């Protein structure tokens, strides 16, 4: 499986103009939705970043000169601190074009987005 696609190649350029994550957005959102509905958190949760090494050309790559892998894709994740289950994730894409997928990249905005499904729960 050298080249596995999860998107409609005919509409990709149109979607990439409003979303940098367009090639995998649909399957990524479906995966996160299944993670959210499949597990009930304990009272201990944490948010952390995960750096996935990535060598190919991609607009999502972040250059981090002090890390062992210089180019990574940064993913923020909400995890249960007891069971290590990840229930929500957000890929850092930098500055998104204006559109429905645009998100503020501040720490406050990322925390609000990752915790919206557990906000107010016991």
Could you read off the pLDDT of 51-93 as tens digits, one per residue? Answer: 888 777 777 777 778 878 888 888 899 999 888 888 899 888 7
Each residue's pLDDT tens digit, 95-110: 766 766 666 778 888 8
Each residue's pLDDT tens digit, 27-58: 888 999 998 888 888 888 999 988 888 777 77
Q: Which of 98, 97, 96, 116 is nearest to 108 (CA)?
A: 116
* Total-model pTM: 0.76
* Helix segments in the chain, DSSP class H: 12-16, 25-37, 107-115
Residue boundaries of the structural domains of the chain: 19-115
pLDDT of residue 61: 77
pLDDT of residue 102: 66
Any residues with CB less than 8 A from the CB of 72 and at least 6 apart, and which?
A: 51, 52, 53, 54, 61, 62, 64
And the tokens for 57?
A: 């050309």
């Amino acid at each position: 499986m050298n080249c596995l696609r999860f998107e409609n190649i005919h509409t990709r350029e149109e979607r990439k103009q409003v979303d940098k994550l367009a090639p995998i957005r649909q399957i990524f959102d479906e995966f996160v939705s299944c993670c959210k509905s499949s597990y009930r958190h304990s009272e201990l949760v944490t948010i952390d970043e995960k750096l996935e090494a990535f060598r190919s050309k991609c607009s999502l790559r972040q250059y981090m000169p002090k890390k062992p892998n210089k180019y990574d894709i940064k993913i923020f994740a909400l995890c249960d601190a007891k069971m290590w289950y990840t229930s929500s994730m957000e890929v850092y894409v930098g500055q998104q074009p204006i559109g429905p997928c645009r998100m503020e990249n501040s720490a406050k905005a990322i925390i609000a987005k990752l915790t919206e499904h557990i906000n107010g729960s016991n």
